[in-house]
């Protein structure tokens, strides 16, 4: 075929440029560390890389959410531990106050002690997190949740709002606990019913812990147990005061203690009730820990002896309920923290996977790229030398 | 005999001289673009009949021809035209490709930052730092949208500028071709010899024209008539037809090509103009630039609208219901400047999830409106407006259309440029829900109430924040009191976990309530640490809200990147293939027409020798004559 001189030069230059372009591209890949320099280099892989890096971004943010929730839960946990410790201490004081040998002034000093712990309890209820938000006020983070009203009673003015944290792609956990669940809503008595001795009792009858014998028979009514002492024999009547119907009549009381059972429940009364002494049994209600402690302080400051023993009994029962409730809330926080830990390790694994996937999709294979570059350099050198060879001489060189 | 020797010698000398001249001309023009090597057509003189037979009378130069093959040349011309078109397209789309390539500068990280900001707000809704940071991230996102739109706008105005300058060059080349036609006619009229160099020049001009725009050539006698598009003549013999740019009748921001007439410039249908860099520019504008701008705009509009819809269901730090977070630009609908009627159409988004990235052409035929989706040509016919097409509701704002009127609907074109922040006060971010529920602490039952949610869609119910109390009259039924539609309600049957809806909210109560238990739903005053609405806002990131619920916002952007990457790659491949084809066509053409210097060097030697030989013939003739004179003396 005829070759025109222009073609020789055009082809030579085009070949040089092509080789050079290849070498430059490989060099760019090496210098950036990326195989995909623009989406056009591999549209599918670059769209995938974009998707994966978006997923990675979301995963990273979920990790941030988790650590935030974790620290908030840990702060709440610490406060709840403090509440539990305080209730425990108050309980110990209440138990100590049960020692019949204590004098009135001893009881007063215990009362002062419990009062101080009561104040401390209010302080913990109004604890704030690092950002100055109240821990137990629900949605109203800037509102102090426990305030004293005009009568000196502590009231809850927060709400049940749960501050949720997005800890997984489709998982939210509460990062706070409700102040009402920790400090309010304590069921009095054994949770089903509670009991009390009438203030006017003159005997030494002490009403003890009540139990539910048969839940199916529990009515939820109020009852009154009244003792009659006649001719050396002590008997008692039980009346359902809700319906004003007698339940038990003239049952014999066997000293030193008798379990009185009716309508699926049973209460124990010990000591020697006097004629006309009465005890009441009523359904459990919600009561705040503050009321429980305040009642304890009032009892400690009041008369010793049998009334104190009755009041201490119910106070201990209520404190146990409170402690149970706080422990329940701590367990809830613990389970959240555990879940966050599990999600954290899963999230970290996922993050590593995403990163390796992105790297696989868009990072350059150095070994391959370096070998490519060597080949391209060789090609370029060959193209240069051959081009020079072919264009160096023409027939004109020999026309002399 | 001596006379004929002289005659033959001189004819040989003359022929050799012409050959040498032509060879020199070839050597001199070896690298002249468009030059076809020339050869001397040499033949024998008419012989003289003698008794001894026909005696040769020497040589004769008939003509000088250029080595030109119409077919091979046409291959190169159309190859150049296609190649220029693809090169231009590739270079232009490469700019979008590079714009989207930068992972740190694309839309994706800005979207991620924005939603990270929403998550951080949800983590800590009570502090102004997270609120301020969210506003910052939102501004960053808006800046990114605007930056993208601005760059695309620069490309669009660059296209307009290039179109204008290309049109000027086309007119200039058309004029030069017409001039060449005239010169060739004049030069070839006086004798029948071809004007080789002029013809080369004219063919080269046609080639240059084709690099700008695909043009077809019809040869008439010795002149070229040149046509572009669907037979629009720009050169007819020695006359030219000027073309020019004209503002599009449908879109004032676009420059269209048109034929300049005494009554104005008449648009040439854009789709008929193919090939050359102009064809590449037009294809880029309609196939890549517009759709990219629309795709980015759609992301902005869907983000703004869905975010607003959730935001207005929330409550800000001051306790007021949330307002719009973003100002979302509306759809653009414009009437053709040539419309005869005075109708003004309006367009509003009715469902942003159904938006496409296409533009629409609305035609009115006197009775019906025909709406054509431009990307795929799907048509819908409506007898009257308002009518809804792909999430956009069209309406007649004023006036009346005349038959034949046309409108262009561009739903998302302004999305990226028009998205702005509607709030500047961090306290106005609605992170909280406007209601809260509460179970009375005195409740004796074991029932719990859910946090409650506000029913979409916006706007929220007017009585949303009225206090509503649910009081159980037994374990199986409750009364509801408060202000609002359907209130008070008595004796409502209770199902554990069932929805209870009043005043635009829904709550669930589950468990076993006791008679006398009360639950309240009330305004969420002072809710500084409520993050319920922020969580719902954050969830928008991973919801499929784009393209009829098939893509997330970031997914839609990923699709765009992959689409542009794919288009760019295809254009590069097509361009490479076309270059290879062009290279071959050029080689074939050069093989036929090109100058080879070695060949010319050989020819120089050959014709030098011919010249020397002919001179020798004359010398021999002269010697013979001298011999004769000497014999006479």
Q: What is the 3-state secondary structure (H, E, C) of A186-218?
A: EECCCCCEEEEECCCCCCCCEECCCEECCHHHC
Residues B195-221 have a mean pLDDT of 94
B538 to chain A, minimum CA–CA distance in Å?
9
The CA R_g of chain A, rounded to the nearest whole Å, is: 41
pLDDT above 70 covers a percentage of chain A that reads 100
**Model pLDDT, residue B3:** 67
* Residue B204 binned pLDDT confidence (cut-offs 50, 70, 90): very high
The answer to whether the beta carbons of residues B58 and B614 sit under 8 Å apart is no
pLDDT above 90 covers a percentage of chain B that reads 62
**Model pLDDT, residue B2:** 59
Run of H or E including B99: helix B70-101
> CB atoms < 10 A from the CB of A153, how many?
12
Q: What is the distance in angstroms between the CA of the first residue and the CA of the last residue of chain A? A: 28
CA gap B98, B93 in Å, rounded = 9
Q: 222-281 in A: which are within 8 Å (CB) of B?
A: none
- Helix and strand numbers (H, E) in chain B are 11, 30
pLDDT per residue over B444-491, tens digit each? Answer: 888 888 888 888 877 888 888 889 999 999 888 999 998 888 888 888
Closest CB to B535: pick one of A133, A172, A394.
A172
Whether residues A40 and B97 touch (CB distance < 8 A) is answered with yes
pLDDT above 90: residue B526: no
Whether residues B554 and A399 touch (CB distance < 8 A) is answered with no
**Model pLDDT, residue B516:** 87
* Chain B contact for A14 (CB, 8 A cutoff): yes
Nearest-Cα residue of chain A relative to residue B442? A286
The answer to whether the beta carbons of residues B393 and B386 sit under 8 Å apart is yes
**Model pLDDT, residue B263:** 86
| Mean pLDDT rounded to a whole number for chain A | 89
Nearest-Cα residue of chain B relative to residue A187? B444
**Model pLDDT, residue B98:** 85
CA gap B333, B330 in Å, rounded = 10
Whether residues B569 and A40 touch (CB distance < 8 A) is answered with yes
Half-sphere exposure of B101 (CA within 13 A, CB side): 20
What stretches of B325-391 adopt beta strand conformation (E)? 326-327, 332-335, 344-349, 360-364, 369-373, 379-382, 387-389
Residues B210-224 have a mean pLDDT of 93
pLDDT per residue over B32-60, tens digit each? Answer: 999 999 999 999 999 988 888 998 889 99
**Model pLDDT, residue B462:** 86
| Mean pLDDT rounded to a whole number for chain B | 90
CA gap B205, A69 in Å, rounded = 74
**Model pLDDT, residue B304:** 94
**Model pLDDT, residue A233:** 85
pLDDT per residue over B291-331, tens digit each? Answer: 999 999 999 999 999 999 999 999 998 888 888 999 999 99
Q: Is the ipTM of this complex over 0.90?
A: no
pLDDT per residue over A194-236, tens digit each? Answer: 998 888 888 888 888 888 888 888 888 899 999 988 888 888 9
pLDDT above 90: residue B595: yes
Closest CB to B591: pick one of A4, A165, A184.
A4
Whether residues B593 and A4 touch (CB distance < 8 A) is answered with yes
**Model pLDDT, residue B457:** 79
* Chain B contact for A160 (CB, 8 A cutoff): yes
Residues B598-609 have a mean pLDDT of 93
Pairing mode of beta strands A233-240, A245-252 = antiparallel
pLDDT per residue over B351-363, tens digit each? Answer: 999 999 999 999 9
A72 to chain B, minimum CA–CA distance in Å?
10
Closest CB to B542: pick one of A37, A169, A285.
A169
B97 to chain A, minimum CA–CA distance in Å?
6
* Chain B contact for A286 (CB, 8 A cutoff): yes
**Model pLDDT, residue B281:** 93
pLDDT per residue over A316-343, tens digit each? Answer: 999 999 999 999 999 999 999 999 999 9
* Chain B contact for A181 (CB, 8 A cutoff): no
Closest CB to B98: pick one of A1, A38, A185.
A38
Whether residues A38 and B565 touch (CB distance < 8 A) is answered with yes
CA gap B416, B603 in Å, rounded = 68
Whether residues A51 and B529 touch (CB distance < 8 A) is answered with no
pLDDT above 90: residue A26: yes
B609 to chain A, minimum CA–CA distance in Å?
13
Q: What is the 3-state secondary structure (H, E, C) of B573-633?
A: HHHHHHHHHHHHHHHHHHHHHCCCHHHHHHHHHHHHHHHHHHHHHHHHHHHHHHHHHHHHC
State the best of B94, B508, B558 to mutate against chain A, taking most chain A CBs within 10 Å.
B558
**Model pLDDT, residue A191:** 84
Residues B576-585 have a mean pLDDT of 92
Nearest-Cα residue of chain B relative to residue A284? B444
Nearest-Cα residue of chain A relative to residue B526? A140
pLDDT per residue over B79-95, tens digit each? Answer: 999 999 999 999 999 98
* Chain B contact for A384 (CB, 8 A cutoff): no
pLDDT above 90: residue B269: no
**Dihedral through CA A246, CA A249, CA A255, CA A260, nearest 10?**
-40
Q: 88-117 in A: which are within 8 Å (CB) of B?
A: none
Closest CB to A166: pick one of B529, B535, B595.
B535
pLDDT above 90: residue A48: no
Closest alpha carbon to B82 in B592, B580, B567: B580
Closest CB to B441: pick one of A4, A50, A185.
A185
**Model pLDDT, residue B176:** 96
Tell me whether residue A319 is exposed, middle or buried, using C-beta atoms within 10 angstroms of its C-beta: 0 to 12, 13 to 18, 19 or more. Answer: buried
pLDDT per residue over B3-33, tens digit each? Answer: 688 899 999 999 999 999 999 999 999 989 9
Which chain A residues are closer than 8 Å to B602 by Cβ? 395
Closest CB to A161: pick one of B530, B555, B598.
B530
pLDDT per residue over B395-411, tens digit each? Answer: 999 988 999 899 999 99
pLDDT above 70: residue B1: no
């Amino acid at each position: 075929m005829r070759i025109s001189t222009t073609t020789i030069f055009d082809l030579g230059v085009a070949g040089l440029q092509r080789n050079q372009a290849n070498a430059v591209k490989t060099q760019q890949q090496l210098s950036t560390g990326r195989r995909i320099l623009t989406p056009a280099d591999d549209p599918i892989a670059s769209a995938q890389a974009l998707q994966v890096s978006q997923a990675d971004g979301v995963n990273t943010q979920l990790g941030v959410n988790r650590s935030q929730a974790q620290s908030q839960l840990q702060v709440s946990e610490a406060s709840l531990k403090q509440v539990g410790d305080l209730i425990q201490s108050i309980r110990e004081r209440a138990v100590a106050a049960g020692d019949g040998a204590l004098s009135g002034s001893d009881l007063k000093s215990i009362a002062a002690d419990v009062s101080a712990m009561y104040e401390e309890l209010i302080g913990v209820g109004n604890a704030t997190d690092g950002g100055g938000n109240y821990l137990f006020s629900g949605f109203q983070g800037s509102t102090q949740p426990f305030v004293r009203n005009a009568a000196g009673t502590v009231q809850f003015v927060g709400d049940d709002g749960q501050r949720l944290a997005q800890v997984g792609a489709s998982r939210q956990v509460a990062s706070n606990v409700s102040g009402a669940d920790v400090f309010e809503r304590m069921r009095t008595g054994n949770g089903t019913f509670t009991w009390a001795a009438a203030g006017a009792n003159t005997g030494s009858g002490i009403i003890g812990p009540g139990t539910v014998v048969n839940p199916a028979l529990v009515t939820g009514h109020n009852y009154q147990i009244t003792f009659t002492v006649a001719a050396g024999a002590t008997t008692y009547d039980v009346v359902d005061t809700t319906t004003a119907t007698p339940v038990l009549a003239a049952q014999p009381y066997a000293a030193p203690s008798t379990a009185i059972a009716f309508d699926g429940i049973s209460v124990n009364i010990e000591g020697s009730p006097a004629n006309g002494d009465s005890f009441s049994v009523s359904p459990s209600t919600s009561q705040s820990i503050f009321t429980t402690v305040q009642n304890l302080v009032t009892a400690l400051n009041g008369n010793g002896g049998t009334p104190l023993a009755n009041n201490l009994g119910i106070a201990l029962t209520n404190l146990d309920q409170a402690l149970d409730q706080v422990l329940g809330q701590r367990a809830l926080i613990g389970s959240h923290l555990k879940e966050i830990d599990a999600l954290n390790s899963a999230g970290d694994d996922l993050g590593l996977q995403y990163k390796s996937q992105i790297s696989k999709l868009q990072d350059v294979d150095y070994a391959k790229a370096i070998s490519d570059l060597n080949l391209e350099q060789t090609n370029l050198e060959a193209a240069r030398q051959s081009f020079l060879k072919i264009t160096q001489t023409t027939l004109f060189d020999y026309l002399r | 005999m001596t006379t004929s020797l002289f005659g033959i010698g001189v004819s040989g000398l003359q022929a050799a001289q012409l050959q040498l001249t032509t060879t020199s001309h070839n050597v001199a023009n070896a690298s002249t673009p468009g030059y076809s090597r020339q050869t001397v057509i040499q033949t024998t003189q008419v012989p003289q009949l003698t008794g001894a037979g026909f005696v040769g009378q020497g040589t004769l130069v008939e003509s000088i021809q250029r080595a030109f093959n119409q077919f091979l040349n046409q291959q190169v011309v159309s190859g150049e035209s296609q190649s220029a078109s693809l090169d231009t397209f590739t270079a232009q789309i490469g700019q979008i490709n590079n714009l989207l390539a930068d992972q740190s500068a694309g839309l994706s990280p800005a979207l991620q930052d924005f939603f990270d900001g929403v998550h951080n707000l949800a983590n800590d809704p009570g502090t102004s730092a997270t609120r301020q940071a969210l506003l910052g991230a939102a501004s960053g996102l808006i800046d990114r949208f605007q930056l993208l739109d601005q760059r695309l706008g620069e490309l669009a105005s660059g296209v307009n500028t290039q179109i204008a300058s290309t049109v000027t060059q086309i007119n200039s080349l058309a004029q030069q071709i017409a001039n060449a036609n005239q010169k060739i006619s004049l030069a070839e009229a006086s004798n029948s010899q071809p004007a080789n160099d002029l013809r080369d020049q004219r063919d080269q001009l046609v080639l240059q024209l084709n690099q700008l725009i695909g043009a077809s050539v019809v040869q008439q006698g010795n002149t070229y008539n040149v046509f572009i598009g669907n037979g629009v003549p720009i050169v007819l013999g020695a006359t030219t037809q000027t073309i020019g740019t004209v503002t599009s009748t449908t879109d004032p921001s676009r420059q269209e090509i048109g034929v300049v007439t005494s009554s104005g410039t008449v648009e040439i249908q854009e789709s008929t103009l193919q090939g050359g860099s102009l064809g590449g520019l037009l294809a880029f504008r309609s196939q890549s630039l517009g759709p990219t701008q629309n795709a980015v705009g759609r992301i902005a509009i869907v983000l703004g609208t869905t975010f607003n819809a959730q935001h207005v269901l929330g409550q800000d730090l001051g306790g007021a219901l949330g307002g719009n977070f973003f100002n979302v630009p509306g759809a653009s609908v414009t009437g053709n400047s040539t419309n005869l009627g005075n109708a003004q159409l309006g367009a509003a988004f009715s469902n942003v999830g159904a938006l496409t990235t296409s533009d629409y052409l609305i035609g009115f035929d006197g009775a019906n409106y025909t709406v054509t989706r431009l990307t795929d040509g799907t048509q819908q016919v409506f007898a009257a407006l308002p009518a809804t097409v792909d999430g956009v509701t069209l309406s007649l704002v004023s006036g009346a259309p005349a038959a034949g009127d046309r409108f262009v609907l561009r739903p998302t074109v302004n999305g990226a440029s028009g998205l702005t922040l509607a709030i500047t006060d961090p306290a106005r971010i609605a992170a909280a829900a406007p209601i809260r529920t509460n179970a009375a602490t005195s409740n004796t039952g074991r029932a719990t109430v859910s946090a409650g949610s506000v029913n979409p869609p916006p706007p929220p119910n007017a009585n949303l924040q009225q206090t509503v109390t649910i009081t159980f009259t037994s374990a199986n039924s409750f009364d509801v009191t408060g202000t609002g539609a359907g209130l008070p309600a008595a004796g409502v049957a209770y199902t554990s976990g069932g929805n209870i809806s009043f005043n635009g909210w829904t709550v669930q109560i589950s468990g076993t309530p006791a008679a006398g238990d009360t639950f309240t739903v009330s305004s969420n005053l002072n809710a500084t640490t409520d993050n319920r609405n922020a969580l719902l806002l954050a969830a928008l990131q991973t919801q499929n809200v784009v393209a009829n619920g098939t893509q997330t916002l970031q997914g839609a952007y990923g699709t765009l990147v992959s689409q542009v990457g794919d288009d760019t790659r295809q254009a590069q491949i097509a361009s490479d293939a076309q270059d290879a084809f062009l290279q071959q066509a050029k080689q074939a053409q050069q093989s036929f027409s090109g100058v080879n210097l070695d060949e010319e060097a050989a020819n120089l030697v050959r014709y030098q020798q011919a010249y020397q030989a002919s001179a020798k013939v004359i010398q021999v003739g002269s010697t013979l004559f001298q011999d004769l004179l000497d014999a006479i003396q």
